[in-house]
A and B are shown apart, each in its own frame.
Chain A
């Protein structure tokens, strides 16, 4: 329930007629949307920990890679996709 998955910010865009700022985040080949409202300093290229569609903290790249690899190996990435074919390449 408190699982947070690290991903890389690919782009930041405004939605709902510019009202809401959202980011496209790459999780090892899977792209999902997340809010950056909790990490206003985060920029494109940064790595963030994402929990239920909201980035909760910025993490460094090395930590992100290691955490993601661990989560992939132990099979904890189901919430990203219905498919179990997770791309194991770097984020």
Chain B
């Protein structure tokens, strides 16, 4: 057990919490889009410090959770049937496909490797010229530059044995999809800080205008999140709808133009299927046609029939913020992190896993601002 550091001090947290209690005079429902923020809110026990009138709804911002079942099946197929060296971020390999996860495939002898960076996969391709290396390139706008860079490096190095199985998803179209759902009751968004570090702020203005929503670009630490929530609630209380940046120390208004240039060299915008949600127009990035040699989907021309999702899992409703994880009949019973029915129970950024590990959200000791390390 450790106390928060001086900078994220208990006093500062308490000040923000007190100010939130003073500010919120009516019920408000906010969504944090980013799974990293969900994880931080739950792990730090912040949900219990908020006034009861403020409801935080957890959004679809967990790339692992929204990667389509069919794509996981393709990755498993490539590893098992095509003999590729299938490389992936760690949190992707435990996500169940229709038959098995990549971890199951690895246990059965397939060459599946967990890497920290796609650039390591490029190195593996260079060191193993007789093996096909495929990197499972999932992620939001934050991760896209690294995946794009891996393709550019591979091309620069003249590698013919490197490709990516890409399933990039974009935040603003997902927010749009959440708002267009008839069941939504979201009144404000916390936008994802590191996504905006790449993309900048401008692409959120249409959402602010179209739906009359306050949107606050927010960081990940307890004080960041409380400050972001306070900024949003202040706007709501005043009847305002503006785009604000809480995370000024990292996010510049223009984002990172160099990163966007590199993304644009490799990816183009496409419609993308989100697991549990369905297809969202213009919500993904796919490898540009002229780089098809580096697109594992085209290179290996894999077609796998789409398998049905587990009927007992309500991941789609959880990802859209319509249901909370513990409102699922399977939560903690048939569905646990050890035996997940759906992706949000696998990734540490999935709302279900966060609730399973760090809640009972309703019963946490509010008086103690201590962080317990698993």
Name A's B-contacting residues (CB within 8 A). 1-4, 16, 19-20, 32-35, 37-40, 49, 51-54, 56-57, 59-60, 63, 66-67, 69-70, 73-75, 79
Contacts and interface: CB of A to CB of B under 8 A. Distances in A.
B149 A1 contact: no
A74 B373 contact: yes
A4 B194 contact: yes
Interface in B181-239: 192, 194-195, 197-198, 220-221
Contacts of A4: 142, 194, 197
| Ranked 5 nearest A-B pairs via Cβ | A53-B117, A54-B146, A2-B142, A38-B259, A66-B7
A37 B198 CA distance: 13
A57 B5 contact: no
A2 B169 CA distance: 13
Contacts, number: 121
Nearest to A34: B117
A70 B34 CA distance: 19
A4 B193 CA distance: 10
Given A2-B140, A20-B153, A52-B118, 19 more contacts: A1-B64, A1-B140, A1-B142, A1-B347, A2-B35, A3-B36, A3-B194, A20-B156, A37-B262, A38-B145, A38-B258, A38-B259, A51-B194, A56-B194, A56-B197, A57-B252, A59-B250, A73-B2, A73-B371
Contacts of A59: 249-250
B299 interface: no
B221 A67 contact: yes
Nearest to A81: B116
Interface in B110-147: 116-120, 126, 138-140, 142-143, 145-146
B258 A79 contact: no
Interface residues of B, number: 53
A53 B120 contact: yes
B90 interface: yes
B195 A2 contact: yes
B2 A2 contact: no
B249 to A, nearest CB: 5
22 contacts: A1-B89, A1-B349, A2-B195, A3-B220, A4-B197, A16-B126, A16-B153, A16-B157, A34-B117, A38-B149, A39-B256, A49-B194, A51-B142, A51-B194, A52-B118, A53-B118, A54-B145, A56-B259, A66-B7, A66-B8, A70-B4, A74-B44
A35 B256 CA distance: 15
A45 to B, nearest CB: 19
Contacts of B8: 66, 70
A73 B63 CA distance: 25
Query: Which of B145, B146, B258 has the most chain A CB atoms inside 10 A of its CB?
Result: B146
Given A2-B143, A73-B2, A53 B262 contact: no
A63 B143 contact: no
Contacts of B120: 53
A33 B120 CA distance: 10
A85 to B, nearest CB: 14
B36 A37 contact: no
Contacts of B192: 2
Contacts of A63: 249-250
